[in-house]
Structure 1
Amino acid sequence: MSSISRRSFVASAAATLLARPALSRSADSRTLRLVPQADLANLDPIWTPAAVTNTHGYTIFDTLYAFDERLQIKPQMAEGHEVSDDQLTWTIRLRPGLKFHDGEPVRARDCVASLIRWSKRDAFGQMLSKCVDAWEHSDDRTVRIKLAKPFPRLLDGIGKRALYTPFIMPERLALTDPNKQVTEMVGSGPYRFLRDEWSVGNRAAYARFEGYIPRDEPASLLSGGKRAAFERIEWQIIPDASTAVAALAKGEVDWVEQTLPDLNPVLARNRNVYVEQLDQYGLISFLRFNTLTAPFNNGKLRHALLGAIDQTAYMEAVTGGNLKWRACASMFPCGMPFSNELGAQFLRSPPDLNKAREAVKASGYAGERVVIMSPSDFPSIGPLADVTADAFSKVGLNVDLQVMDWGTLVQRRTSKAPVESGGWSIFHSWAPAVNMMNPVLNDYTRGLGAGGYFGWYENAEIEKLVGDWMTAVTDQARQSVFDAIQTQTWEAPPTILLGQYFPTTALRADLAGRIPVTSPLPWNIHRI
């Protein structure tokens, strides 16, 4: 977006805030009205890693363990655990009184079935499952995991946040094929899903679950006491950013999950609203190749395209100069331990497009169509696709930019078909930096192939290195693994990081207690 069009947009948005008629009556004190960053088109957070579905998951489900604000794993549904002297048996005891939304008690067999289903979708889970001899339940409150060999980071796996969070659901639902969606939403979290009120493209609603028993301690990031202050939560799907902030300014909604940077100056002038950074770690924008089909099954072509990447162009497209951001020439989030910028030799600003064009020719690219999927209703992702389409066209790729809504993109990226049969070549997204801070969590560099993240990159050497990191006991050994993984991935990258930025969220001034994380978590927040 040019500076002139940005000024026009902001002026128009400011006028909108003053002139737009009300959408509905103001929210009452018992209801929290949220505008999520995308439409809730898919419900099963084990079937899709979409951020909006993961937020939906945290609203209605709970986990055995979870990260606290220091990024330490703490018991959540679990009361605690014991590990045998030989490190081969982990015994986890559930907290008493846990209930599902249908009134049934949470039993150990529900947890076992949920962990098994999760482990078939998640990269960390797949690594763990290879070491598991048996997932067992000795009684209704005791989960027992028997290992073939020690797995010291077991709690890091079953307490991870994403891509696939190991949410606990009833056994009858957890027995669903992990490649098929669960559509009946029965959790044990602080809110229950109101299926009859769900309307794709319009709204979703949740009611406080009176049977939920929070932990005694204060809330701490994804762990601790999840206290639900509101009787009801409503998600209003408003794709147009100016309409969303106008609704916020008028008190028709309470919270806009992610604000468009151009509108932040407008919001800052409204004393009934406050804007703050989502969290301290930020988001990583990325480009993902489909390495399974032509043309990006050609690693030389993927490497050649590094020369066309201009992180400044990407970051300006999504921040508009109104958000903090940084270039990051690493395959891990910059500013975190062990993340060296080993890609600095490949990512240069401004890029040399002539040199990149020659590298594309030398790679053996034969003019195959490159389908870039772009979401029309996701302002922090759609512009990335525009930048890529322009740059890759300039270096000689036969680009086909296809615009669709985010829900359609999320479903289509599961296709492994060639582009001639409805497949895809590239999509863009972002991930919270904490979700990719180490080799086992970073699904975008993992080499699991058909069982891994969309794009299905396969690299046995990287998987060996991930295993080495799991058993590394010194910082020197950990650093060696981080650097070796980067060396491998920069040679034929399955993913290209496009920059690290720090988006903002906006809330009505009478709300307090927001958990400082990249998802709009429904607990702890309350009216004052």
Structure 2
Amino acid sequence: MNSRLSTVWPAKRLRTAIAASAVSALLLAGCSSGSADSGEQEASTGGTLTYALGADLPTLDVQQTTAGVVATVAYNVVEFLFVRDADGENAPMLAEDVQVSEDGLTWTITLREGVTFHNGETMTSADVLASYERWSRISSSGGEVASRLANVETPDDQTIVFTFDEPYGSFLSAISINTQGLAIYPASVLEQSTDTELAELVGTGPYMLEEHDPGRSVRLVRFEDYSALPGDEPDGYGGHKPQHLDAIEFQTVSNEGSRLAGLQTGEYDVIHGSSADALETLEGTRGLVVERVDPTGLQVMLVNNASPITSDLKLRQGIQAALDHEEILTAGLGAGNFRIDPSISLQETAWHSTVGEDHYNMDDPDLAEQLIADSDYNGETIRIVTSRDLERFYNQAVVVEQQLESVGLDVEVETYDWATALEHRENEAAWELFISDFGIKYDPVEQPFMRLCSYVGWWCDDEAVAIVDGLISESDEDKRREFNDAFQEAVYEQVPFIKIGDTGGVIAHRDRVHGVTRQGGSSILAWNVWIEE
């Protein structure tokens, strides 16, 4: 056992469920919480919610990006065929139901009738097909679906049929994914769009885009013709969406101190992207509701396998050996606001694994220097791309720089605004290392780094591809767990990325804000929120 494995905050075992069908495996439950206020007040209608974002929006197109800040805004505007409910199950949203053939090859999805887009058009299977086709080209998860697809057809306006070459047990998980997911747009809008630029943001969601001032703000207003699901309450990403608010005003406020001060004075109703250290600043402030959230997800340092420098396996292994993860996490999150754990799936899930733990949090400079000496490294500059918009990433990048320089590497931290940093991350020639967060996922195949060959970092190993293929195709839970362990072992051997630790965070809002729900970490879903005037 690695003596450096330690838990800084305790794991809270959340309820897990085993779904027996081929469309679902072990799913994490308990990732949503109700409003921090427990009163029985009746929800009121009206008002504008002012929401301070911790980073600029690189795009408003959900199909284009895995950036969580985009999801925070755009999920109020766009919707999906299926979503995850509060128990982690796949639940229909724009779909009415799904039927799977006995051989597991054909999935027939019936669409809800009478769903209206913000431009007044009625959603049909033609819109779903056009959205799928674009998603399959620009999203790594969409490309994964397309690689298995034999045929897709729309026999009528309310039906779309996907037929695969082989059984595809995790198909619904693939189209329910909430990062770079299959958002449904009007075909008429996509005809005017390109794969890199959406002509306009038009969806079927409870709020519609009124104004976007890039780099500054986004204003959404209630969509009066919204086709809500029946019921009284939201259910994770699904369920009923009440639309209590007249409008939601998202403002980009990159400096965390400014966000915290604005929340305290009442300038902002809700803040996004705060570290657990914010508790010290906010606790005791009258008029605030502050909730600590552990865990919010994983922190990972991506390694560019396509770079001529970090394509060298021995160098990647040397970088892995050099790192002191606790020092890195403390620099970004503060003492006690993280967990040291080797698993690429959280302890709270059924997918947790200790495979490869001897290569985690090694802090072994002597071994690092030997591995680097055995590599082809010749003094080239290793670039860590980051942003001060998210201060924790910058602080951690500086510590990584120091740790790697101490074992003889030449390292440079390159700092950009967050949107530009994400653009650089998409460029194989622009970086070697990049620190990022990855949210809570209900199935390991939903993590972006599972999309081999196409996801940033561009790890494309034949053995690893075969492992992921088995994890995606298999429906037997024990066999899937074996594939998951094999994948984690490959990660620690080949170092395509480095799991740093598990993160904690904070949800904070004014006490006049009610109906707050969260899903997967510390993202607040606005469609159930109401304001007490």
TM over 0.5: same fold? yes
Partner of 1:453: 455
Please give the secondary structure, in 2, of the residue aligned with 1:79.
Answer: strand
Partner of 2:170: 153
CA distance in 2, matches of 1:257, 1:102: 29
Partner of 1:130: 147
Change (3 A) 1:360 1:507: same
Work out whether 1:356 is the aligned partner of 2:368.
yes
Match of 2:202, as an amino acid?
A: V
Partner of 1:212: 226
CA distance in 2, matches of 1:416, 1:483: 28
CA distance in 1, matches of 2:270, 2:207: 18
Aligned-residue offset at 1:515? 1.8
Partner of 1:5: none
Please give the secondary structure, in 1, of the residue aligned with 2:526.
Answer: coil
CA distance in 1, matches of 2:234, 2:505: 23
Structure 1 gaps, min length 5: 1-27, 418-422
CA distance in 1, matches of 2:92, 2:327: 43
% same residue: 27
Partner of 1:317: 331
Maintained 8 Å contact 1:445/1:494: no
The residue correspondences of 1:120-519 to structure 2 (distance < 5 A) are 120-162=137-179, 164-174=180-190, 179-195=195-211, 198-217=212-231, 218-278=233-293, 281-321=295-335, 323=337, 325-348=338-361, 351-417=363-429, 423-434=430-441, 437-438=443-444, 440-447=445-452, 449=453, 452-517=454-519, 518-519=522-523
Query: Once structures 1 and 2 are overlaid, which stretch shifts more, 365-374 or 37-46?
Result: 37-46
Maintained 8 Å contact 2:141/2:451: no
CA distance in 2, matches of 1:118, 1:183: 15
Query: Once structures 1 and 2 are overlaid, which stretch shifts more, 514-523 or 227-236?
Result: 514-523
CA distance in 1, matches of 2:341, 2:183: 32
CA distance in 1, matches of 2:139, 2:104: 23
Query: Once structures 1 and 2 are overlaid, which stretch shifts more, 221-230 or 339-348?
Result: 339-348
Aligned-residue offset at 1:338? 2.9
Change (3 A) 1:473 1:167: closer
CA distance in 2, matches of 1:305, 1:293: 15
CA distance in 2, matches of 1:87, 1:281: 35
Maintained 8 Å contact 1:32/1:234: yes
CA distance in 2, matches of 1:445, 1:149: 20
CA distance in 1, matches of 2:473, 2:118: 39
Maintained 8 Å contact 1:367/1:398: yes
Please give the secondary structure, in 2, of the residue aligned with 1:228.
Answer: coil
CA distance in 1, matches of 2:271, 2:103: 50
CA distance in 2, matches of 1:178, 1:483: 39
Could you list the per-position Cα deviations for residues 416-438 of structure 1 after superposition, in whole angstroms to 9, with x for gaps in the alignment? 23xxxxx2111111011226x41
CA distance in 2, matches of 1:232, 1:63: 22
Maintained 8 Å contact 1:294/1:368: no
Match of 1:378, as an amino acid?
A: L
Aligned-residue offset at 1:176? 7.2
Aligned-residue offset at 1:384? 2.0
Aligned-residue offset at 1:359? 1.7
Could you list the per-position Cα deviations for residues 25-45 of structure 1 after superposition, in whole angstroms to 9, with x for gaps in the alignment? xxx961000011211232222
Aligned-residue offset at 1:318? 2.0
TM-score by length of 1: 0.87
Maintained 8 Å contact 2:190/2:199: no
Please give the secondary structure, in 1, of the residue aligned with 2:163.
Answer: strand
CA distance in 2, matches of 1:227, 1:381: 36
Partner of 2:22: none
Partner of 1:61: 78
